[in-house]
Amino acid sequence: MDEPGEYIDFMARYRDWIAIKRIGIRDSTKPEEISMYLASVKGAIEPKLYKYLEIDTASLDGFASELTKDLRKGYDSLLQVLPKLKEQATKEAVKKACKNPNTSQIAESYLLGRVLSKLGTEPFATPEMLVKVFPELKLPKQRMPKKLGKN
């Protein structure tokens, strides 16, 4: 097999978390393969954003489930959920999920993304979505997270 002429590398290391992703680009590499790689990088780093901001995503996931309970999948149900996002109960759930009140807008963004996901409409491309569109692609295998010693 020919050697890749180019690479896209992603490496992150912070405290006890490390993520390394690499794709070799050959003449035969399809754009959808590169897109799958980029979606997997996003999937690896996004949860850390909320963790390091000390936003309780588990509580927001549960609240998103409550907001979408008994609703059909699809955009039409979003019309039923949007007014609920302005209610006091939502504001309180977001506030409770944030250790730092200044992060509430970020937590609201997370909550909206989870609501969309629960309604079967992802706000961003995911590896799973790309596999549905391009069945020849395979989901990357998930490795066990590596724990680093204290520095």
The number of folded domains in the chain is 1
Q: Is 31 inside any structural domain?
A: no
Mean pLDDT, residues 117-139:
93
Report if residue 112 sits inside a domain. yes
| Domain, as residue range, for 88 | 57-118
Q: Is residue 37 part of a domain?
A: no
Checking if the pLDDT of 151 tops 50, the result is no
* Average pLDDT rounded to a whole number, residues 5-34: 92
Strand, helix or coil for residue 121: coil
